[in-house]
Structure 1
Amino acid sequence: MNGIAFAAGPAGGTGAAGGFASFIPLILIFVVFYFLLIRPQQKQAKQHQKFLSELKKGSRVLTKGGIHAVITDIDGNVLSLEIAKDVVIKASRDAIAGAINKDGTSVAPAGKDGKAAPKTGG
């Protein structure tokens, strides 16, 4: 009879403390993932949504499909983009990847200081 009781676990209240201690590495991994992956991605998505809401006529943009264009008209969520002289296409606001300079280089949406920073490769 005593053999069965010892097989069930140690006597005393250490079972609950041991169970919590086994979750500490899992909790630490989640905290690291949150601060290194989840939080920066949320900040970037929020910044991109702000950029999309501030689009205006005359802005030079790059679509997610790689098309360089100038915004000629905005009708709610639909943008009219001029990709060549007298060639206008319509695209969703969500199809815009970012802004571009006149020389064609990509620019990241504005940061905390309000200035646009050049995108890095990668």
Structure 2
Amino acid sequence: MKEGNGNLLALLFPFIILFVFFYLFIILPQQRREKKHREMIKNLKKGDYVFTSSGIYGTVSKIDEKTVILKLSENVFVKFDKSAIQEVLKKEE
């Protein structure tokens, strides 16, 4: 019986190593990025200068529960989903 258990462990060992590798180098960093992005969205304020995932720069004009309105230039406003905000470049002072 000891031989059978050893063979089973030898068969499972590469899969265990592969799972640990995927968790440490793929899943965990992705979870950290998502958490950081959620915090950034949560801390958005009117007047912040932001960059969207579609490549548009603008100033936050209004924030709703799920959307944000960006001012791109004088009298030009665009509505985005909050998740489209990629980065806050300059916080309101």
The answer, yes or no, to whether TM exceeds 0.5 is yes
Aligned to 2:50: 61
Higher normalized strand content (fraction of residues): 2
1:43 to 20, 32, 38: 32
Residues 1:87 and 2:76 are matched in the alignment: yes
Aligned to 1:31: 20
Deviation at 1:35, TM superposition (A): 1.0
Deviation at 1:95, TM superposition (A): 1.0
For residue 8 of structure 2, what is the amino acid of its counterpart? G
Query: After TM superposition, what 4+ stretches of structure 1 lie above 4 angstroms from structure 2?
Result: none
- State how far apart, in whole Å, the 2-side matches of 1:78 and 1:32 are: 37
- State how far apart, in whole Å, the 2-side matches of 1:50 and 1:87 are: 27
- Whether the 8 Å contact between 2:41 and 2:85 is mirrored in structure 1 is yes
For residue 98 of structure 1, what is the amino acid of its counterpart? E
Q: Secondary structure at the match of 1:56?
A: coil
Identity of aligned residues (%): 33
How many pairs are equivalent?
91
Question: Which protein is bigger by CA-based radius of gyration?
Answer: 1
Larger RCO (CA under 8 A, 6+ residues apart)? 2
Deviation at 1:88, TM superposition (A): 0.6
State how 1:93-108 maps to structure 2 within 5 Å. 93-101=82-90
